[in-house]
Structure formats: structure tokens, C-alpha cells
Amino acid sequence: MQTTLARAVEFKGVGLHSGAPARMALRPAPAGHGIVFVRTDLPASQPIPALWNAVVPSQLCTLLKGADGATVSTIEHIMAALAGTGVHNARIELDGPEVPILDGSSAAFVSGILGAGLAEQAAPLRAIRVLKPVEVREGEAYARLVPADHLEMEFAIDFTDAAIGAQKKRLDLANGAFVRELMDSRTFCRRADVETMQSNGLALGGTYFNAVVFDGDRVLSPGGLRHVDEPVRHKMLDAVGDLALAGAPLLARYVGNRAGHGMTNRLLRALFADPDAWQWTDCTPDLQGRLPGAGVTAHAAPAQARAAVA
């Protein structure tokens, strides 16, 4: 069955790229509503659906644009949290153009969602089953979807910085694996890139506390890494959020090699452009029990993540 939040929950922080204060509220929504963003600072603007075909090109984040031109950016971490906890319907109210970055991961969002609780709705859930391989490439980078009984993921990265290097991870995302394995992995960057990003109006809200900053063989952020392979885990977190823009749970294995937000969106566009590549599937209780949010409980979120919940 479909689910929504049992009650509203709020978050406050700053936008990673804008540096502007940001407050966001997740509110319950009726069955069939999906995930929709609402810009409360633009009362005349239309709601913006969290769907693949609302994504517009953007640097270093996922950005949605509504029919009237209103935008919301850096949505990937909250989308990953919703998918990873099994929330299918929600109204997300945002008082500016960018989702708050909090600690650079999805942990606080997950903590807030699970603290609010989920409510089951009297409406069946459908999933999107991938029927044949679909792939997009750009140089050495590629992203691929292949048929599977539930969401699986394999991701590889390769950086010249010794503290990152080559990393690869494969994960079965059934039964709460997102919460256990990925939600607390933070966005990251190289120190050499920070000045360039900021001169281009990006990462203005970035700090050593909401991103992991690498410099050659050193980790500059206090406390070091949360996982030895935190960068590839964060890339997987991003991919979970970007794949959630399919609009329903995906039954597929996602394979990414040096892939980013834009490539994952192009992959979804390629999937839906081929009617023979996918089909709607009714979720039986057994199938729903293998989706990413199944069986997740509030104690799974770390206590330190609760500090960012308003």
C-alpha cells in the first residue's frame, strides 16, 4: 500500500550552493499525490512535481523547474531519504530556491521522517519494472539499468586524490539497506575545486561540517570519514535520490561508473522513451517487503542527526 507521513516535520539550515537560510517542511499528502515541492516564498507559483521530466541541467546538483519557471535545487538528499524510508506521498514546502544541506547527507532527513512516523494509505502501490537493459554513456562514464526483482546498485568512482582513489561498492537496497549503509555519507569535494566553485557562484554555503573536503592524501573535515569508502557511498545516495524521480519504486539494478546527477537523469529519460523497456507492476505484500523502506524503524537513525530537525 502507499504511505505518507503521519505528521509534519520541519528542517532548517542553509543552501549548499546559495548559502542562503532555508527552512523546509514535509507534510502528509493524499494517496496518488506523489512527491511535490511548493515554494512558499512564491505564493503565486505552481507546485513542482518531483519527476524526471521536470529536471533541468544544473551544475553539481539536481534542479527541478515548474511549469511557471519556479525552481527548487539540491533535492537529491531529501528525495533519497523519502525513497529510503518508503514515503510515496508528501508535500514539501520550501521558503526559498534550495533545500537545506544540513550535514551534507540524508541522515537528518531520515531521522525526521522516522520520528514523524509513516501512515499507510488505502491505495495500492505500483512499481516500475525494468524489462531490458538501458544505458547512457559519456566518455568513460556510464549509467545503466538492467532487470532485477528489487532495487540493487553498483557504483564505481576514480579520483586522483590519494584519500579518495578508486572505490567500488555493490549493495542490495532491500529491507532498509539505505538507512543502514548510505544515509549518513556526506557530499564531498576536493580543496582545489572549492575556490573555482565559489568563484562561479557555487558552494557558497559549503563548510568543513556539511561536506567532506579532500586535499591529496588528507581529509580536511573535522572527525575524518564516517566510512572508509564514504565518497562512493555518497554517490550511491545521490543516485537513490535521482532515481526516485522515476515517480515510483524501481525494480532494477543500477550500475554507475563515474556517473553524476545529469547522467542518471538522462538514463531515466532513455528508459521512459522506450515503451518496451519498462512496465507498471502492482506491488504484492512480498514485493513491497523488498523495497528500500520496508521494515525501517525510528531507532535506525543516529541520534546526532536529530539536531537539524526544527
Residues carrying an active site annotation:
261
Contact 65, 48 (CB under 8 A): yes
Q: How far apart are CA 104 and CA 182, in angstroms?
A: 12
Nearest to 123 by CA among 175, 149, 88, 79: 88
The residue type found at 308 is A
Find cell 564505481 and name the residue: 156
Contact 34, 50 (CB under 8 A): yes
Helix/strand/coil (H, E, C) string of 123-167?
Answer: CCCEEEEECCCEEEEECCEEEEEEECCCCEEEEEEECCCCCCCEE
Kindly provide the residue ranges of all beta strands, DSSP E only, lying in the chain, ordered along the sequence.
3-5, 9-14, 21-28, 35-39, 48-49, 55-56, 63-65, 71-73, 90-94, 118-120, 126-130, 134-138, 141-147, 152-158, 166-172, 188-190, 212-215, 218-219, 250-257, 278-282
Q: How far apart are CA 207 and CA 293, in angstroms?
A: 30
In the structure grid, which three cell numbers stand for residue 194, read together?
572549492
Pairing of strands 250-257, 126-130: parallel
Count of CB atoms situated within 10 Å of the CB of 188: 21
